[in-house]
Amino acid sequence: MKDLFSPGNLITVAGGVLTVVGVVAYTTGNANLSLPTIFYGIPILLGGLALKSSELPPARRVVPAATFKAQRDGAPPELGKLLADVTRWRYGQKAHLESSLEALKLWDEDTPPQLLEIEEFSETESYGLRLRFSLGAVGLERWQEKQERLGRFFAKGLRADLHEVDPDHIDLLLLSDAVPATGQHGEQ
């Protein structure tokens, strides 16, 4: 359902409606209505189609936004910013967290890792995020080499744990130092 209401779709539909109204007005001889709707409708339609061609949908959110609101407010602000960043529509990028993955040297230009879903969780009064990635062409070994740096990269005082879901997917858990690394997160 959220795919229907992407900014690219809304702009494309608005431009299409204006263009159709303009063409109908032109064929019925109503110059006052046809001129502005055609001249505005066609560029808006083309702009919407351009957005659609470079659209990256938000990562799937496993837990509803309101569930961990209190814990999120008390967590490091970088986690909230990360969550907000990956749960919105992006344009002109191949993957969520593209610049972060490039800086961490976890990027492959042809087949980059893709963030599939994000989940908030709370353990022993601490808040954390689970990010599930499709590995693409970046192997698990490269992720494991960067594991110590991953947590520090996103926020001071965070620790990253990696869990292999299957040969093509991993879970990256971002935890505060106080949270124990035991237990499985995000298992469905």
Ordered domains of the chain (ranges, CATH): 2-53 (no CATH), 58-176 (3.30.980)
Nearest to 127 by CA among 164, 184, 178: 178
Q: Please tell me the predicted confidence (pLDDT) of residue 180.
A: 41
Least confident among 42-46, 62-66, 170-174: 62-66
> Residue 183: which pLDDT band, with cuts at 50, 70 and 90?
very low
Q: Please tell me the predicted confidence (pLDDT) of residue 125.
A: 67
Instruction: In whole angstroms, give the CA distance from residue 172 to residue 140.
Output: 11
Instruction: In whole angstroms, give the CA distance from residue 177 to residue 151.
Output: 10
Q: Which residue has the tokens 């087949």?
A: 111
> Residue 47: which pLDDT band, with cuts at 50, 70 and 90?
very high
> Residue 19: which pLDDT band, with cuts at 50, 70 and 90?
very high
The answer to pTM > 0.85 is no
* C-alpha to C-alpha distances, 14 to 10, 21, 41, 142, 164, nearest whole angstrom: 6, 11, 8, 45, 44
Q: Please tell me the predicted confidence (pLDDT) of residue 84.
A: 86
Q: Please tell me the predicted confidence (pLDDT) of residue 30.
A: 82
Average pLDDT, the chain: 83
Q: Please tell me the predicted confidence (pLDDT) of residue 179.
A: 39
99-139 pLDDT tens trace: 889 999 999 888 999 999 998 887 776 778 899 999 988 88
Q: Please tell me the predicted confidence (pLDDT) of residue 2.
A: 59
Q: In the predicted model, is pLDDT for residue 163 greater than 80? A: yes
Contacts of 188 (CB under 8 A, 6+ apart): none
Instruction: In whole angstroms, give the CA distance from residue 19 to residue 175.
Output: 51
